[in-house]
Amino acid sequence: MTIPQKKKLFLDTYRDTYGNLTETFKITEIKASEYNNFMELPDFRREIDAVQQLRIDLIDSKFLELIASGDSRAIIDAKKMEVERKSGINLEELRQKIMVYLITHASTKTEALTAYCDWFKVAESTGDSFYKKAIIEHALKDKTPIARAKAERKKIESSLSERFKNNNLSEIEMLQGLLEQALYTAETAEYPSERATASKEAREIGRRMEEIQERERVKNTFNNEEWVDIIDAIVLDSNIEEVKALKQKQMMIEGE
């Protein structure tokens, strides 16, 4: 489909949906980035403005019908709309407020950008630039999703370490907690280097857990008496069977 064809399809659909941008994107499958490029063209923008005015006029006419019939709620809502139109909505201020909220509340940067781009119909690169700008202008470096996740992880690691020192946690339980934190960071960290470091840490913790589990497995394989035989065999530079035979012989002599 050529660019002129895409523009025509978008405008026709936009008119049919009375200016419903979300529905227009869905029906035409035209990307938000393409729409942003189209909006830079004066003729396209004029058509969009005309449809938006049509929508306002349609809403006004419906309100007037309700008002004429004495619908009190319609009268109240109509007055609210008039106030908003006179005072205007500061879109830039609204963008900033929403981005600040997303930065300080979203669990990941991806989640914040996805929500912002969906709401304002902008490309991810545009959202990312605004995200970085908001962090600097509003001093949010320590409140970003990744910063909050790091602080929470540090808190959990400190708690695990303290409980282990106080004998309230076994070594394997502590390592399991650390492994969970490392795996979470490996999946959600903002930067590739952080994800790589967390993945390496998770592998090292996993190996340590395997060593402990193997040690416990070997330890539980033998009873205390067998451990004594093993130690005696090492001391005498012999094997376990010879040690057992020697002990059996000694017991027979003592029994006589």
Residuewise pLDDT in 10s, the chain (256 residues): 788 888 889 888 888 887 788 888 889 888 888 888 888 888 888 888 888 777 766 666 766 666 666 665 655 565 565 555 555 556 677 788 888 888 888 878 888 888 888 777 778 888 889 899 999 988 998 888 888 877 877 777 777 677 767 777 777 777 787 787 777 777 776 667 777 887 888 888 888 888 877 777 766 655 455 555 565 565 666 666 776 676 666 666 665 5
Residue 55 is encoded by which pair of tokens? 């929508």
Which SS3 state, helix, strand or coil, does residue 61 take? helix
Last residue of a domain, one of 101, 124, 143: 143
Same domain, yes or no, for 66 and 16?
yes
Same domain, yes or no, for 204 and 180?
yes
Last residue of a domain, one of 80, 114, 143: 143
Q: How far apart are CA 133 and CA 130, in angstroms?
A: 5
Residue 20 is encoded by which pair of tokens? 């419903």
Same domain, yes or no, for 84 and 7?
yes
Q: How far apart are CA 67 and CA 62, in angstroms?
A: 9
Domain that includes residue 114, residue range? 92-143
* CA atoms within 13 A of residue 194's CA, in its CB half-sphere: 12
Same domain, yes or no, for 24 and 36?
yes
Q: Integer distance in angstroms from the first to the last C-alpha of the chain?
A: 106
* Number of compact structural domains in the chain: 4
Token pair 């963008």 is found at 95
Same domain, yes or no, for 151 and 202?
yes
Burial 24-54 (b: 16+ CB within 10 A, else e): bbebbebebebbeebeeeeebeebbeebeee
Amino acid at 126: T
Token pair 């060593």 is found at 211
Residue 202 has a pLDDT of 82
Q: How far apart are CA 195 and CA 199, in angstroms?
A: 6
Same domain, yes or no, for 165 and 203?
yes
Same domain, yes or no, for 165 and 105?
no
Same domain, yes or no, for 194 and 133?
no
Burial 95-128 (b: 16+ CB within 10 A, else e): bbebbbebbeebebbeebbebbbeebbbbeebbb
Same domain, yes or no, for 210 and 157?
yes
Last residue of a domain, one of 102, 118, 143: 143
Residue 177 has a pLDDT of 79
Per DSSP, helices labelled H in 106-239 are 109-120, 124-137, 145-165, 171-188, 192-221, 224-235
Residue 94 is encoded by which pair of tokens? 């609204």
Same domain, yes or no, for 130 and 151?
no
Same domain, yes or no, for 96 and 32?
no
Q: How far apart are CA 38 and CA 49, in angstroms?
A: 13
Same domain, yes or no, for 128 and 82?
no
CB-based contact 55:18 (threshold 8 Å): yes
Q: How far apart are CA 61 and CA 51, in angstroms?
A: 15
